[in-house]
Amino acid sequence: MKTSTKLRLPPRIKALEAAGAIGDGRVHAHRGLDGSWRATVESSDRTRKYTVIIVPEAPGKYRAYSTDNGTQLRGYIGYPIIAVLMLAGILPRDPEIEETLKNIPWKKLNQQLRRYALVIEKIKQTATNKGLNPQKLENFMNTTRKKLAQLTITYDPNLPNT
């Protein structure tokens, strides 16, 4: 994306990917004195690093930049942005879910199963095996999506230059 555009809501699964990234310690974020957040988020297989910048404009309104495909190519709020919003306290977190989703090979699962619904079922099965009620994952995805719907997040391609 080369222009400022309001980002769309992501697929629900992106809340789980963001929580997994936090659980894995793949999100390296820091807050600036101006309230902005800058971060590097590593992919699940650790072969890619995404740059994330989030700048608050007003309550519930943010400018954001991220180099992940969901944000740049598909125009939705990618999981790296969601993870940083979680660390910033703007979106909810759940330490039990973050712990349960550690070491999930998201990229591999997405490539193998090719449909988010199938990946969600696989993740629920993994969570159940680790002792987490899969309904908790459903509730977390739904709550995160509702909170995201209350925000206005605009992609700003100029943020890296500021």
pLDDT on residue 2: 66
The residue type of 47 is: T
pLDDT on residue 138: 97
CB 52 within 8 A of CB 38: yes
SS percent in the chain: helix, strand, coil, step 5: 45, 20, 35
Per-residue pLDDT tens digits of the chain, which is 162 residues long: 667 899 999 999 999 999 999 999 999 999 999 999 999 999 999 999 999 999 999 999 999 999 999 999 999 999 999 999 999 999 999 999 999 999 999 999 999 999 999 999 999 999 999 999 999 999 999 999 999 999 999 999 999 887
Q: Using CA atoms, how far apart are residues 83 and 81, in angstroms rounded to an integer? A: 5
pLDDT on residue 101: 96
pLDDT on residue 38: 97
What token pair was written down for 154?
């605009």
What token pair was written down for 62?
């943010």
pLDDT on residue 1: 62
